Amino acid sequence: MKKVMFVCKHNSRRSQMAEGFARTLGAGKIVVNSSGLAASEVDPITVNVMAEIGIDISHQTSKPLSDFNPEDYDAVISLCGCGVNLPQAWVLREIFADWQLDDPEGESIDTFRQVRDQVKERVINLIAALT
């Protein structure tokens, strides 16, 4: 099974959504983690918009990228354009992509939902490509 790391600046919104989708939609197909350049807290609005569609990410926590080893992952996906700030070992994995999705922080709940739906579509395509 391919191992995927989703990474974002603070691991609080977009990467948490991606982890939740990948764990749910990719169960038994891929192994997934998410992290941030710096850890923070999972945004409660993110938890809520994922719960709206039946995905519980309330148990997920924000983790720093430094807690992980790049050699353990086949695919690294940046969700915020932070790929330029990642250590080179992460960018040189078998698959690297920078999705550059807008951060919904401080925006309306509808913006969170739009970003959630964009993340879902990309995760579905990623799972299909990896399996």
Amino acid symbol at 88? Q
b or e along 92-113 (b: 16 or more beta carbons within 10 Å of the residue's beta carbon)?
ebeebebbebebbeeeeeebbe
Q: Which of 37, 47, 80, 123 is catalytic?
A: 80
8: annotated active-site residue: yes
**In this structure, are residues 12 and 18 in contact, taking their beta carbons and an 8 Å threshold?**
no
Nearest CA-CA partner of 103 in 23, 9, 35, 21: 9
Q: Which of 4, 8, 17, 18 is catalytic?
A: 8
Q: How far apart are CA 68 and CA 58, in angstroms?
A: 21
**Residues known to be catalytic:** 8, 80
